[in-house]
Structure formats: structure tokens, C-alpha cells
Amino acid sequence: MILTVTLNTALDITYRVRELHPHGSHRVSEVTERPGGKGLNVARVLAALGHEVTVTGFTGGATGRVVQEQLTDTPGVLDALVPVSGATRRTIAVVDDRTGDTTQLNEPGPTVTSAEWSAFQEAYEGLLGDGVSAVALCGSLPPGVPVGAYAGLIRTARTAGVPVLLDTSGEPLRRGVAARPDLVKPNAEELAELTGSHDPLRATQDARRRGARAVVASLGARGLLAATPEGTWHATPPARVHGNPTGAGDSAVAALLSGWVERLPWPDRLARAVALSAATVLAPVAGEFDRAAYEKLVGRVAVTGDAGAAWVRP
């Protein structure tokens, strides 16, 4: 079983409009709602790939109840969310049908008290003892949660002997990397902020020196760059895809986790991650992917090793 942690869970709401105009009034053609936050998106994709997943994090208020009600309808996903007195946040994605671009509005999340944070830590430690094969720590921290929260959760997982993937940004990422996670999955901007380098190859290697055992950097349309103890690889999609990119990075995390627990070689993990990311862009909402597109793309992803010699800087 895989455990995903989403401390700042959300109800993801996606609006589709014919064409988005700033300051204008819009008629919405379609509305979808899904349990959200990065770890919940990861969990849904993992379940679709055939893995059993437990989700934990915080939930509260009327929005939190909607999230939990919808989770009960997701096969393969077990709800272990911890209640808080505040209300779960909402995230709003507005998709422009004309251009395919998405505008994102993210609420900050509920303020978590010290007692609620302590209750979560106790619950998390208990979940790690239930046959967990890997844990993913995903997304932003809600107000009130210590900035070093992920570092502490990484150390707890390491003590329990559970491999851990970290997908966050800013100071939580910097402190988390120093706690020596097995894998971090930043995007190019997050990686540059962490290391101070805008050279992806140099930055991934620097992130490893800072403590991460392996680093997989998302480079958008240019695919994924991975620096691992077994080598360095660059995986690129066969063609650029257009659609809603929300959740594409979460699908990459799900692919990397599934490849990890299935003990796939790194090139196969990366090919799966790139194909799933692209297939998610082609799906209407985060946490879903176009299965036919995924199956078509996965065999066409180019993965080259020794990126130190082959990497072409933009």
C-alpha cells in the first residue's frame, strides 16, 4: 500500500468558458468538482494504475465533508484524513476553451492549531506501520503548520524504513531535502529556487548533494531530467500536447511512485511519468488521465542516459 500526504487538501473546482476576458462576465459551459490537493490527485492516478492507496492530511468544514464524500466513490483509495476545526480550501481552475490555457486561483487553507498538528503526527506515525511500501509528501503547507513539517515527516518515515518522495516548494522543500528523502520531484522554477542554478543538470546534482537521494526535475514540454545513484537520464515526450496542465506534475509523481514499488528500472519509470503527464494534460480535470493517450505515448517517450554529455541547454 502507498500512503500519500496532503496537508493542504482542497476541493478542486474546474470551470470551462468559451473565452476568458479579464474584467469581463463569463458564461460557464461546464463545472466539475474533485477532491484535490497534490497528494489526492496522486492517489487517484495511483488507484487507476491498480495500486491500493491511503490518503491522509487535514479536512474540515462543509468543503471537507464534500471532499470525503467524493473520496468514498474512488475505488482503491482509503480515506485517513485528520479533522481540523477550520474549513478545507477550494481551488478554482478556469479553462479557456479557445486557447486551452488555464487560470488558477488557490485559497490558502485552514489555520491548523498546534494540537491538530500533534494529532496528525501521531496518526501519520501509526499509518506508516500498516504495510506501507512508500509515502509521498505533497503540496503546500496550510497556515499554522511549521515550515519544517516535511523534514520531520521524512525523518519519521526513514525511522520506519519507508521510502519517501517529497513534492513541495520554497522553504519546506529546502528543509525537506536536508532531511534526506529518497526522491524529490521539483519543477524547474522550484529547483532553481532551491539551488540558485538555472542549469537543470547542475541544479539536480546540487539538490542531491544537499541531501536528496534522487532528483527528478520536471521541465515542462522538455520532459523530465533525473539524477539518481544509478545514473542520469533525460526523458522527452514524442510531441507537445495542448490542454489543461493542472495535475500533470501530480501524475508524474504517481508514475514515479508506482515504478518505485514495482521496482522498474529508472528509464521505465521516467517513460511512464512523461507519458502520464502528457495524458493528464489531455484529460478534462486534475487527477485524471486519458488512458488511450497514455498507452499510445508510453512506448514513444525517448529516454537517454548520461545526460551530462547529451543535455542541450535551452
Catalytic residue IDs: 250
Question: CA-CA distances (angstroms) from residue 129 to 47, 60, 170, 179?
Answer: 21, 25, 30, 20
Residue by residue, what is the 3-state secondary structure of the chain?
CEEEEECCCEEEEEEEECCCCCCCCCCEEEEEEEEECHHHHHHHHHHHCCCCEEEEEEECHHHHHHHHHHHCCCCCEEECCEECCCCCEEEEEEEECCCCCEEEEECCCCCCCHHHHHHHHHHHHHHCCCCCCEEEEECCCCCCCCCCHHHHHHHHHHHCCCCEEEECCHHHHHHHHHCCCCEECCEHHHHHHHHCCCCHHHHHHHHHHCCCCEEEEECHHHCEEEEECCEEEEEECCCCCCCCCCCHHHHHHHHHHHHHHCCCCHHHHHHHHHHHHHHHHCCCCCCCCCHHHHHHHHHHCEEEECHHHHCCCC
Q: What angle in degrees, to the nearest 10, is found between the helix axes of 149-159 and 114-127?
A: 30
